[in-house]
Amino acid sequence: MGSPVNPTENDPSDDAALTKRLAALDDATHAMAEARDFGKHLRLRRLLDSVRRVLQQPGGFAAVQARAADLDEAGLFHGTDWATPEVLVPALCGAGLQSENADTVLIEAVSEFRMLAIASGDYAHPKVSAEDARQFLSQVLATNLALLFSPPSEAERVKQGRMAQLTRELFRYLGENVGFESVLDRLVEEIWRILRQRPIQVEQVQQLITQIAIFRSDPDVDLGSAGQGVDRLISSLYGTTEACREDPGVDVYRSRLEAMDASALQFEAAGFARAMHDTGLVSPYHAELLRFLLDQSDYLLAEAMGLSSTGRDCMLRFHDLVHRLIEEAVHPQTAQSVYGLALLLDRGILYQPPVAPALWRQIALPLSPYAQERLTLAYGSTPSPSARLLSGVLSILGLPLGVGQGDNPTCQSARALSMWAYNDPDYLLQVLVWAARDDEIIMHFEGQPISSRESVGGVATTLPTDLDPVSLIVVPHLDRIYAEMGRRCVDRPGDPHRWVNPEFHGWWSARGFRINVDVQTGKLVDLDEFLRHFYAAYHPRYNGDQPLIHPQPAGIAVTDSAARYVGWHAITILRVGRDPQDVTRVYFYNPNNDSGQDWGDGVVVSTAGNGERFGEGSLPFEQFASRLYIYHFDPLERGDLERVPAEEIDRIIGYIRRSWGADRWSAGELQASPEP
């Protein structure tokens, strides 16, 4: 594919080849359109081969875009996820275009051409407006920025062959037609949305910011006014203060620090602290500043971390421990641990008697060869595996709601780690010692020990690798123990979470349990009672205005943006309260790396602007209840079930009926449920 896809002047032989292949494409499209629905798959091979040949010709992209409406109406997308463009998720398009399956790449590519035709007004789609299509393409480009600016890797070339280059040319074509300004604006907006949730793992965000910085430095690229909003992001990593404005390298920056007086050092400290708390990102220069200030003054150290009065008191009280933590865990390669340490101190958890000695133990902990190997494979050998794990400890204790499950079905284990870091940090540190030193965790289920070493397997079919350091070591053990607890409940009636959750997560998981789905049939049961008990247990108006004391495990039915059922998912209910608009909301932790999701039917999870703290997602009480299928409650604290208005229950049942409960109605529920 050495020829450009959209050249200014075509060679006559190229024009002839394109004309010939377009005729074949038009014939294949016509044949597909004439086929009945049950026979369209028989014509698909010919059509996809024709599309591929056209796209490999100069001018082929514009030609396929011009035929996007015909391809759509002929049935190219029939029976696939691409058949309903109004519910497509931009973040998932990159995976389709990087698939090893060439047919998947081609269908995804034509889907992008369809959106571009809609955006340009060439295709009047009944369910997607031109503005929606343009926003979709902007987000696709923004979330796959690497495909715009970097050549295919060796792995991509091996897996995808010529398709890897076709994908790059497709993104350049889309960028030229959609406009790079909108791409950058959308990308920056997406980065800020993720950062407002304060995740522990920010490597992907850092890579995007690096790509933006490289992109902006290209003199051939004109961003117009779009580049003005990215300065805070770029400077947070590479040019936070005047002393590192031109990104001079850590060694040069260290020499500049050595030449500064106290006033200049205070200016540096304040600048880094301000940027860190503004973005949640930490520059490698910030880590180097903290290491330098160890020999200067605790006042400047507190300034550099932007500590509150609680954090300052905590640092002074535990002076030796804090200094040692910085010496061992804070390095330019582990700079994010600075933010974790700052928030850990501000939480004041060092005043809990077991936590400080547990951290001293962690500093001196000998890691097993297996734990060292896992950490080295995931993060490299610099700094040492012990330092890498200790930096992860600081992050998880400072940001307990920033734990993510990665691309793994281990939401239960991620939730447990988050809950322990949030509510019982010394227990988390003990579990980590068992996993990192002994390669075994032993938990008890109803008095009987369960060994992670002896359990046969967990939910995850492969060993998770895309996790923070603490999760990397602990999650495989927890996953096996959780699965074993479930196996021990297999002969019991009902849902095993009734017994597993309190044993797995901790004593504070309430023993009362409600589920609105029959485990055997999957049908909805006792909806009215389920919802009334939830209101009576959690809503301040009906539970005597009793705030939630301990975080509680719960299960939700996740739906997509079209309100279709996706799957069951573990979350943590953190609190219930009124937002700035005086709406009662449920604030919860979602371990899936990004709480902000559109669950369809107007149910859109908020992560900022409605009273959320960092790491929380929230929904109005009714909407949250409409996706809830499991919760725990204290059976001894009975609220006022009868006062819950019937019309409110009816509205929630309407949400359920229009979404994940659409095909789950039993005969009894059909009689009792309102019409949507």
Q: What is the mean pLDDT of residues 339-345?
A: 98
Whose tokens are 């939700």? That residue is 556
pLDDT reported for residue 212: 78
Cα gap 659→676, rounded to integer Å: 11
pLDDT reported for residue 180: 67
pLDDT reported for residue 3: 36
For residue 113, name the pLDDT band (cuts at 50, 70, 90). very high
Cα gap 5→173, rounded to integer Å: 8
pLDDT reported for residue 617: 95
Count Cα atoms within 13 angstroms, Cβ side, for 643: 12
Q: What is the pLDDT of residues 540-565, one digit of tens each?
A: 999 999 999 999 999 999 988 888 88
pLDDT reported for residue 671: 41
Three-state secondary structure of 162-187: HHHHHHHHHHHHHHHHHCHHHHHHHH
Tokens of 226: 């779009």
pLDDT reported for residue 5: 43
pLDDT reported for residue 263: 94
pLDDT reported for residue 53: 93
pLDDT reported for residue 69: 93
Contact assessment for residue 279 and residue 195, using Cβ atoms and an 8 Å cutoff = yes
- E strand segments, 86-211: none
User: Is 221 a residue whose pLDDT tops 70?
Assistant: no
pLDDT reported for residue 153: 52
pLDDT, mean over the chain? 89
User: Is 381 a residue whose pLDDT tops 80?
Assistant: yes
Closest CA to 144 of 171, 119, 104: 171
pLDDT reported for residue 598: 87
Q: What is the pLDDT of residues 123-136, one digit of tens each?
A: 999 999 999 999 89
Q: What is the mean pLDDT of residues 478-495?
A: 93
pLDDT reported for residue 175: 80
pLDDT reported for residue 321: 98
- Which residues are paired to 586 by β-bridges? 576, 619
Length of the chain, in residues: 676
Contact assessment for residue 87 and residue 562, using Cβ atoms and an 8 Å cutoff = yes
User: Is 383 a residue whose pLDDT tops 60?
Assistant: yes
User: Is 672 a residue whose pLDDT tops 50?
Assistant: no
The SS3 of residue 583 is: coil
% of the chain with per-residue pLDDT over 70: 92
- Which residues are paired to 442 by β-bridges? 451
Cα gap 279→70, rounded to integer Å: 46
Angle at 555 between CA 550 and CA 560, to 5 degrees: 130
Angle at 400 between CA 324 and CA 337, to 5 degrees: 35
Whose tokens are 């009047």? That residue is 124
Whose tokens are 């297996």? That residue is 370
User: Is 675 a residue whose pLDDT tops 60?
Assistant: no
Q: What is the pLDDT of residues 6-24, one digit of tens each?
A: 443 445 567 888 898 999 9
Cα gap 256→458, rounded to integer Å: 51
pLDDT reported for residue 666: 67
Q: Is the dihedral of CA 630, 632, 633, 635 positive or negative?
A: positive
Q: What is the mean pLDDT of residues 202-215?
A: 82
Cα gap 459→480, rounded to integer Å: 7
Q: What is the mean pLDDT of residues 622-649?
A: 93
Q: Is the dihedral of CA 493, 415, 419, 611 positive or negative?
A: negative
